[in-house]
Amino acid sequence: MRRATTSGRIGLALVSAWILVALLGPGIAPHGVGEVVHLDVFDGISRRFPLGTDYLGRDMLSRVLYGARYTVLIAFVATSIAAMSGILLGLAAAAGGWIDMALSRAFDIIIAIPSLMLALVVIAATGASIPVLIGTLAIIYTPGAFRTARALAVGVMALDFVAAARARGERLPYIVVREVLPNVTGPLAADFGLRFVFIVLLLSGLSFLGLGVQPPQADLGALVRENIAGLGFGAPAVLFPAVAIASLTIGMNLVIDSLPGRRRR
Amino acid sequence: MIHSPLMVLIGRRVAAALATLIFVSLAVFAIAQLMEGDVAEAILGQSATPEALAGLRQAMHLDQPAWRRYLEWAGGVLTGDLGHSLITGLPMREMIGARLVNSLTLAGLTALVSVPLALALGIMAAVRRGTAFDRAISIATIGIVSVPEFLIATLAVMLFAVTLRWLPALTSTRDVHSIWDLVRVFALPVFSLACFVMAQMVRMTRAAVIDALDTSYCEAARLKGCSPARVVLRHALPNAIGPIANAIALSLSTLLGGVIVVEIIFNYPGIARLMVDAVATRDLPLVQAVAIIFCTAYLILVTTADVVTILANPRLRHR
């Protein structure tokens, strides 16, 4: 394995930090998530409130620590569903035949709808709840995972060792699991990371529009939205949740770029 | 000419886009049917009498099977009759019309600013590959692509409107009396949108030009003593036009997502804000109408990208 680059290490540190926050956040938060602890709203950075206070005088650091859990977990579950179904269907389609035709055409339709637009239509019809959000995000990003997995698998299927396995008389499930899958795990992992970034951005965008995670729950995007009135005062309460999202997505991008087998031009 | 392979290719691509549009409209219509409860109940409230509900259902054709309602809706959209909003009861054509013009103005201005700038930056980065300039461009574009749209807009407002007080934080087209006013009002929304659109365009342009510069004919041009400018302008660029035009059209399609966030932040009276409000109030007819407009715009841009790629390939032209 290639030695990790500096940017890759920074990325890994950022992503692991956010995973830790998602797991432990509420445990290390200095104040309760809904606790009004200060009389001044949109207060600046101070020793007592390292990230200032929000529009109700709640501690922003605690709000971010709690909010990150929603962003990271929803995005992770949605990405896992999208990647899993995309890979399964993609591998099935790589064998060709009518399954390939049907799946490719069906996913082409989903791709032809701008992702934010598709999410908005679903949310308008079903209302915004966390299961709906996860399902919608997963459906929107399944076609991309499908295309990547299919393209990779089609490439491997054409190689000699697969022909050899076929000649040995192995059945399709064996070929897919034992011969194809081990040869595409690297690129699939990179694809997973990329899709995670897309999903975090779309989820944050939806919450920012007030159509994602609903109050009293709040993910990082929702934190930006509820404090947007502080923009005029230059309140840190607007800035920090947005910066938190950015550090998560940039960190993930840095990790992906430093993965072995991926070289930037 | 009609039977030239080029025309056949383009015709096929456009036909595929039209077919996709039909399926997309079906999908949008189908998703809208997921709404629990029915529309008549949503309008009249829970205390409505069964007779009133039945009457309204009949008036709105809700008693008819879904496929007939789809055909009626699609026919209405094609003839420009979008129907009425569920919440305000106004004809949607009036609600959407003026706002569509506003949104197109914003998108048009953004394209006007970002396309030439992005091309220049992308080509320059490709020509000076590996220099500090190129690396700065790479870092900046990766940074912009990987942060949420609202972060850029938020930072821009904080910097230019709050800290420096150069520009207004909200966009109101009513205060425009001169060109200067126009520039001031549109500066921040266009800047935020342009950042986002440009980042992708610059990256793709750079990659396309680098691909062209790496070919053996550019190598040959360099070896026979062409100046670097001549190699780029006469040898590399003509061959990179297809991928670059493709990049422009694809990047402009990301405008559609960005415009939603920017209209909300700057309180801009455009069609995307109408859509977000409609989703919040669950005004499904309005959501459907705006979604179809957006999907059509998106398909037009993506199809244009493909057609331009076909047109720019000289091998297909002289067959």
Place of tokens 């109030």: B281
**pLDDT, tens digit (0-9, with 9 covering 90-100), for B259-300:** 888 888 888 888 888 888 888 888 888 888 888 888 888 888
* Contact: A108, B298; criterion CB under 8 Å: no
What is the distance in angstroms between the Cα of B319 and the nearest Cα belonging to chain A? 30
For A243, name the nearest residue in chain B, comparing CA atoms only. B151
Q: Rg (Cα) of chain B, in Å, rounded?
A: 24
Reported confidence tier of residue A84, pLDDT bands at 50, 70, 90: very high
Average pLDDT rounded to a whole number, residues B16-26: 89
Predicted local distance difference test score (pLDDT) of residue B175: 63
Predicted local distance difference test score (pLDDT) of residue B37: 60
For B149, name the nearest residue in chain A, comparing CA atoms only. A205
| Chain A residue numbers touching B24 (CB-CB < 8 A) | 109, 112-113
- Cα dihedral sign, A206-A208-A211-A217: positive
* Contact: B143, A221; criterion CB under 8 Å: no
- Checking if the pLDDT of A93 tops 90, the result is no
Are B261 and A205 a contacting pair, CB within 8 Å? yes
Q: What is the mean pLDDT of chain B?
A: 82
* Contact: B163, A120; criterion CB under 8 Å: no
- Checking if the pLDDT of B65 tops 80, the result is no
Average pLDDT rounded to a whole number, residues B72-81: 80
Helices (H), chain B: 5-32, 39-44, 50-59, 66-78, 92-127, 132-145, 149-156, 179-213, 216-223, 228-230, 237-265, 271-281, 284-311, 314-317
- Checking if the pLDDT of A90 tops 70, the result is yes
Beta partners for residue A36, in sequence order: A58
The tokens describing A201, both together, are 């951005």
Interchain CB contacts (distance < 8 Å): A and B: 143
Reported confidence tier of residue A101, pLDDT bands at 50, 70, 90: confident
**pLDDT, tens digit (0-9, with 9 covering 90-100), for B157-172:** 878 877 777 776 666 6
- What DSSP letter does each residue of A185-206 carry, written as one string? HHHHHHHHHHHHHHHHHHHHHH
| Chain A residue numbers touching B165 (CB-CB < 8 A) | none
Quote the distance between the C-alpha of residue B292 and its chain's center.
13
For B210, name the nearest residue in chain A, comparing CA atoms only. A265
Predicted local distance difference test score (pLDDT) of residue B10: 86
Reported confidence tier of residue A265, pLDDT bands at 50, 70, 90: very low
Nearest to A117 among B154, B157, B291 (CB): B291
Q: Which of A55-59, A162-166, A199-203, B225-229 has the highest mean pLDDT?
A: A199-203
For A108, name the nearest residue in chain B, comparing CA atoms only. B20
**pLDDT, tens digit (0-9, with 9 covering 90-100), for A144-198:** 899 888 888 888 888 888 889 888 888 888 888 888 888 888 888 888 998 999 9
ipTM metric: 0.80
Average pLDDT rounded to a whole number, residues B237-241: 83
Q: What percent of chain B has pLDDT over 70?
A: 89
Predicted local distance difference test score (pLDDT) of residue A264: 43
For A244, name the nearest residue in chain B, comparing CA atoms only. B147
**pLDDT, tens digit (0-9, with 9 covering 90-100), for A107-142:** 888 888 888 888 988 888 888 889 999 999 999 999
What is the distance in angstroms between the Cα of B130 and the nearest Cα belonging to chain A? 10
Reported confidence tier of residue B154, pLDDT bands at 50, 70, 90: confident
- Checking if the pLDDT of A263 tops 50, the result is no
* Contact: B276, A201; criterion CB under 8 Å: no
CA distance A152 to A159: 12
Average pLDDT rounded to a whole number, residues A94-101: 81
The tokens describing A175, both together, are 């070929």
Residue A197 near chain B (CB below 8 Å): yes
* Contact: B298, A243; criterion CB under 8 Å: no
- Checking if the pLDDT of A74 tops 90, the result is yes
Predicted local distance difference test score (pLDDT) of residue B42: 66
Quote the distance between the C-alpha of residue A243 and its chain's center.
16
Predicted local distance difference test score (pLDDT) of residue A155: 84
